[in-house]
Amino acid sequence: MRSATETQARHAGERPVRVTRSRRPVAWTGLGAIVAIGIFAYLPYLVYSSTTDLFINVFILLSMASMWNLLAGYAGLVSVGQQAFVGLGAYFVLILAQHGTNPFVALPVAAIACGVVALPVWWLVARLRSGYFAIATWVVASAFELFIQRFPSLGGGTGAPLPGLSGLSPTLLTADTYWAALAVTVVALAVVYLLLRGRLGLVFTAIRDDETAARSVGSHVGRARSFIFMVAGAGCGAAGALLVISQLSVQPSSAFSVQWTAEMAFVTIIGGIGTIEGPILGTIVFFALQQNLSHYGAWYLITLGLVAISIALWARRGLWGFIDERLHIRLFPVGYWLWIDSQPPARRLPGLRRRVRDEPDQEEPPRKP
Amino acid sequence: MSAEDPALHGMTAPGSAPGASQGPGASPGEGASPGEGNPVLQVRGLTVHHGQLQALSDVSLSLFPGDVYAIIGANGAGKSTLLRTICGLSRPTAGSIMLDDTEITRVRPERRVAAGIVMVPEGRRLFPSLTVEENLLVGAANARQGPWNPERVYQLFEWMRDRRRQRAAQLSGGEQQAVAIGRALVANPRVLLLDELSLGLAPVVVRRIYNTLPELLATGLTVLLVEQDVSQALRAASRVHCLLEGRTTLEGRPGELSPSRVEAAYFGLADTGANQSGRGGGPA
Amino acid sequence: MSWVNAVIQGILTGGLYALFACGLSLMFGVMKVVNLAHGDLAVVAGYVAVGIIAVTHIPAVWSFVLVVPVMAVLGYVLQRTLIQAALGRSVLTTLLVTFGLSVVIENGLLQFFSANSHSLQIGSLVSDSFSLGSQITIAYLPLVIFVVAVIVLLGLQFFLSSSKYGRLIRAVADDREAAQLSGTDYRHVFGIAAAIAFATVALAGIAFGMVSAFDPSIGTDQLLLFAFASVVIGGLGSLWGTLLGGTVLGIAQQIGAQINQSDQILAGYVVFLAVLVIRPQGLTGQRAEL
């Protein structure tokens, strides 16, 4: 992740303008990422199995949250039905494992399969506006759940165990699962980063600002969105595959539970929607909370929900937005900074974020598929 | 500004607010009348921003009872912004708006209606799924006491009575404009704001609508209007105020303003008179 | 013929679904808010009814007299505070807030009432039925609920078309800013619309509690989705379309149950998805886009 794609803009005798990817040279970010991955890879040798297990769950949630963030924070698609792909990923692995494939091998296959299934689902729901789009994705998830339950070979309503992993010792299995989870997370974050750094990121920023204008300059809004929907489907499918591997069994009611979307969404909102770092921060906060509140039953989800609602209303950019504003750090530089006369870019102008109260609702244009 | 209009060049009519002198209350038409009384609406130093864009800079005006006060200017000059700020849909960055002696700068739009400022918005903005009568009834729902009610509106626009059960969306542009005015009237305003009455309407229809102004003024109304058509504005108004890029470039009675002065103020041309704020001038 | 019975049962259930759906539809039509917590509110009403019955010992059939006004007030307050604040931000925020609300409500109910299901006991009324001819049996309760639903829809239509606040609601739904310029405090009108939506969904929740059993998660497992499916199938923007949609959904479910007991709900979703593909504006819909 080299810092700068510097471009010397040439002007007829005017002040030179430089365009860079980040405010400070952040070559160390790329190095830091490699170091971090290395440390995480070494983790199972350093800590007890139970901690490794915890990190598996952290990585699963982080992958899901990154996907949800991609959908909602960048593509503007609020899906409350991502659990459809979580469950589907889990069941794809189950089906393949029942036919003799090693679950770890089945994982990427399941992820890709989920990405493929996401396309017809998109065709179903793409025309709906945001609110109804959301509920429709929920209906799809429920339909998937009910559909899967019809198959006794998959365990029907009660679920089924995952075959194919009984040979391994528990510690080794946990470590293998951990490395698989780490790999999935690294891939997910890398995919998100690269997508947003490229043309797609520009398209989505344009859509965020003014969708009609974006269309009129030729941005393929529908294609971009459908692509993101497929990526998110694959990502959540991978997470679901990890789930079944780590739990060694799957039940439809838990694999397709809307709780997954709730966690993905809340974690992203709290961490900072619309930034890549947000889900990371949110996941950390979530697990910190969970460690302390886990013995209070459903309270942690209630607390999480209330915090998420508060942040959505009063601190829209979330925790990372708060940090970003103060320190101007970007771990994942996807934007552009303008340097004029070699001066560092000014702080973001005040007043830009101030909204006039009672502005009319963002009236959404009908979405073309 | 109507291209074909000779009136702009040949116009000399003093006190050109038709019928204004017939009304009860102060007549602002002829010359400088000292007994104009207290202003009913006072705008002081109004500055309005739309995000980074400065739409209005330090605009002031005073509206006296019985006035027909016209705001003219090119597209983007800030005319509609001024009206929107006066009726409460936009919030100013600086400045104040006083109705009689009450400051209403931060008051919500619906409360200003209750205080007596009612706007007929640009583009009519009737409720399309409601009938003509229902549109009027909505306007009357939170009305002040006064002479206006739906029946009185039907007397003003006779054709409306027979069409009152028709849906608003089915009316022609001119008819919608009349209903929109009626909807504002039934709230019994003290100050009636008219935003771009002539937009999208045939000249003959526009003239017909402007001809109803005297009857409105006769009931004690004061009118503040924004008008694209400068000649129409000069014909109908007792006072004129020109805006350019958010700043005041001219203010006065139509009779006292020469066409060339109006033109200069409208386009921002260099003028031997008061103003230097021409195009391509200093930084905004 | 169990098929005829299935269809009749489906029609009657459609009334209940329409009752669920009209509040969702109203909130979207007036405020452009899709309340993801809509189903959970019905469940809340059910639990409130259970609580009130336990305290006051009034017959379950009359519990709605107390519950519906309470829910209406709750609706007004929630709209003026939380939802209004979210509306001032963006569409995304409103969705997130109502989703968050849904999760909080569900888990709150789970915490206080456990996952066990409850129902409103109305004694033998549950299963009393009468026969038409030798083959058709109609249960009283679904019929009564259907009639109540139709009455409520009629009342709602009358309210919207002929009363002052009905007019204001329609005006605000058409053009909020123009309504402001006409002197209407749209926040208050929004509150009234929300109050009506909450009241109808509370009534629906209580009715549901009589015919069937509810638990904390059924709000989102089924009720929200049924309401939504009714709106989509019937067509946006029409109260009677929602009744038609609810009826189609109900019939689809009953026929599905005839084919295979466990496919009841899935059958409904299949029909919903089919409508979405073939005729997205719904059976009576005027607009092409939802």
| Model pLDDT, residue A341 | 62
Neighbours of B169 (CB within 10 A): 13
* Local confidence band at C286 (pLDDT 50, 70, 90 cut-offs): low
CA distance A356 to chain B (A): 7
Which pLDDT belongs to residue B113?
94
In chain A, how many H helices and how many E strands? 14, 5
Q: Provide the CATH number for the domain around residue B211.
A: 3.40.50.300
pLDDT digits (tens, 9 = 90+) for B147-180: 899 999 999 888 999 999 999 999 998 899 999 9
Is residue B128 in some structural domain? yes
- What's residue A115's pLDDT? 96
pLDDT number for residue A360: 38
CATH number (domain holding residue C187): 1.10.3470
Domain assignment present for residue A316? The answer is yes
Kindly state whether residue B101 falls inside one of the protein's structural domains: no
pLDDT at residue number B8: 35
Residue B278 has pLDDT above 50, yes or no: no
In tens, the pLDDT along C43-72 reads 999 999 998 888 888 887 888 889 999 999
- The answer to whether the Cβ–Cβ distance between A357 and B90 falls below 8 Å is no
Q: What is the pLDDT of residue C1?
A: 54
Nearest-Cα distance to chain C for B117, in Å, is: 9
Q: Domain count of chain C?
A: 1
Query: How high is the ipTM of this complex?
Result: 0.86
Nearest beta carbon to residue C174 from set B108, B110, B128: B128
- Residue C22 is predicted with a pLDDT of 93
Beta strands B94-99 and B41-50: pairing type? Answer: antiparallel
Domain that holds residue C63: 2-278
Q: How many CA atoms lie within 13 A of A302 on its CB side?
A: 14
Nearest CA-CA distance, residue A352 and chain B, Å: 6
| Per-residue model confidence (pLDDT) at position A197 | 82
Give chains near A: 3+ CB pairs under 8 A: B, C
CATH number of A128's domain: 1.10.3470
Task: Domain count for chain A, please give it.
Answer: 1
Whole-number Å distance between alpha carbons of A237 and C32: 32
The total number of structural domains in chain B stands at 1
Relative orientation angle of helices C2-31 and C164-174, to the nearest 10 degrees: 70
Encode pLDDT of C184-202 as tens digits: 999 999 999 999 999 999 9
List, in sequence order, every beta strand (DSSP E) within chain C.
Answer: 129-132, 136-139
Give the pLDDT score at A366: 44
DSSP H or E run through A181: helix A170-197
Question: By residue range, what is the domain housing residue B162?
Answer: 64-83+116-240+248-267
Distance from CA of A147 to the nearest CA of C (A): 7
Give the span between the Cα atoms of C129 and C72, in whole angstroms: 32
Residue at A83 is within a domain: yes
A161: its two tokens: 């165990």
Token pair belonging to C154: 């009629």
Out of B52, B91, B108, closest to residue A356 by CB: B91
Per-chain mean pLDDT for chain B: 82
The residue to which tokens 């209005």 are assigned: B56
In a domain, A355, yes or no: no
Distance between C211 CA and the closest CA of chain A, angstroms:
22
Q: Tell me the mean pLDDT in the region C91-100.
A: 89
B30 part of a folded domain = no
- Is residue B155 included in any domain, yes or no? yes
- pLDDT tens over chain A, length 369 residues: 444 444 444 444 566 676 766 655 556 677 878 888 888 888 888 888 888 888 999 999 999 999 999 999 888 889 999 999 999 999 999 999 999 889 999 999 999 999 999 999 999 898 887 788 998 999 999 999 999 998 988 888 888 999 888 888 888 889 999 999 999 999 999 999 888 888 888 888 777 777 777 778 776 788 889 999 999 999 999 999 999 999 999 999 899 999 899 999 999 999 988 888 899 999 998 888 777 766 666 777 888 889 999 999 988 888 888 887 777 666 666 666 666 666 555 544 433 333 333 333 444 444 444
pLDDT digits 0-9 by tens, C100-152: 999 999 999 988 888 888 888 776 666 777 777 777 888 888 899 999 999 99
Residue C286 lies in a domain: no
- Please report all neighbours of C, defined by 3+ CB atom pairs within 8 A: A, B
**Which residues, in sequence order, are CB contacts of B242 under 8 Å at separation 6+?**
B71, B72, B73, B248, B249, B250, B251, B262, B265, B266
Q: Is residue C288 part of a domain?
A: no
More confident residue, B18 or C129: C129
Q: Is A181 within a domain?
A: yes
What is the pLDDT at residue B271?
55
Residue C290 lies in a domain: no
Mean pLDDT, rounded, of chain C: 88
Residues of B in contact with A349 (CB under 8 A): 52
Task: Please say if the pLDDT value at position B30 is more than 60.
Answer: no
Residues of B in contact with C185 (CB under 8 A): 108, 110, 142
CA–CA separation, C283 vs C151, rounded Å? 22
Which chain A residue has its CA at the smallest distance from C262's CA? Answer: A150
Half-sphere exposure of C65 (CA within 13 A, CB side): 7
- The partner residue sitting opposite C96, judged by closest CB among A146, A265, A357, is A265
| Contact: A352, B91; criterion CB under 8 Å | no
Domain hosting A107: range is 23-340
Length of chain B: 284
Whether the per-residue pLDDT at B11 is higher than 60: the answer is no
At residue B26, does pLDDT exceed 60? no
In this structure, the number of other CB atoms found within 10 A of the CB of residue B165 comes to 9
Token pair in block for residue B219: 């009931």
Q: Do A142 and C177 touch (CB under 8 A)?
A: no
Query: Coil, strand or helix: which one is C89?
Result: coil
Sequence-distant (≥ 6) Cβ neighbours of residue C180 within 8 angstroms? B88, B89, B108, B109, B110, C186
pLDDT band at B2 (very low <50, low <70, confident <90, very high): very low
* pLDDT given for residue C288 in this prediction: 47
Distance CA A79, CA A72 (A): 7
Whether the CB-CB separation of C40 and C105 falls below 8 Å is answered with: yes
- The answer as to whether C135 is a domain residue is yes
Which amino acid, one-letter code, is at A218?
G
Instruction: Tell me whether residue B259 is in a domain.
Output: yes
For residue B159, being part of any structural domain is answered with yes
pTM: 0.83
> What is the predicted pLDDT for the residue at A45?
84
